[in-house]
Amino acid sequence: MSITRLDPHERLSGAVIHGGLVWLAGQVTQDPALDTERQTADVLKQIDALLAQAGSSKADILSVQIFLPDITTIDAMNRAWDAWLDAACKPARATVEARLADPGWKVEMTLVARIP
C-alpha cells in the first residue's frame, strides 16, 4: 500500500492518505485577526477542501480533536461547528484546552476520515 501526502509544507503534510483513511494535520486559520467562531468556520472550510482533495467528505469523518487555547470559547467554536456539521454523520470528538503554537490562533483541529 502506498502513502500519499497532500499539501506538503516544510515540516509536515496537510493530509496523509493510507489504507483507505486520511489523516489531517492540525488545521488553523489563515486569518488570526478573526474571532473564535469565524476562525472555526475558516478551519472547517480548509478541512472540507483537504477532504475533497483526498476523495472524502465531512460525512466520512471518524474522529476529530479540537484544541482551544481558552476553553471558555467553546460555545463560539460550537456555533460554527454546529452550522457545518452533518447531523446524520457526527464523528467521535474530543475538545481540549491547549496552548497553540501561534497566540493568534483560537482553534486548531485534526481528524481522521475514511475514503469511501
26-70 pLDDT per residue, tens: 999 999 999 999 999 999 999 999 999 999 999 999 999 999 999
Q: Compute the average pLDDT of residues 77-86.
A: 98
Cell of 69: 487555547
**Cβ-contact 10, 17 below 8 angstroms:** no
Q: What percent of the chain has pLDDT over 90?
A: 99
Q: Compute the average pLDDT of residues 2-9.
A: 94
What domains, with CATH codes, occur in the chain?
A: 4-114 (3.30.1330.40)
Q: In the prediction, which pLDDT does 16 show?
A: 97
- CB count within 10 Å of CB 9 equals 8
Nearest partner of 78 among 100, 56, 93, judged by Cα: 93
Q: In the prediction, which pLDDT does 103 show?
A: 96
Q: In the prediction, which pLDDT does 1 show?
A: 78
Please, what is the end-to-end C-alpha distance for the chain in angstroms? 16
Q: Round to whole Å and give the CA distance between 84 and 45.
A: 9
Could you tell me which residues come within 8 angstroms of residue 88 by beta carbon, excluding any fewer than 6 positions away?
Answer: 59
Q: Compute the average pLDDT of residues 89-114.
A: 98
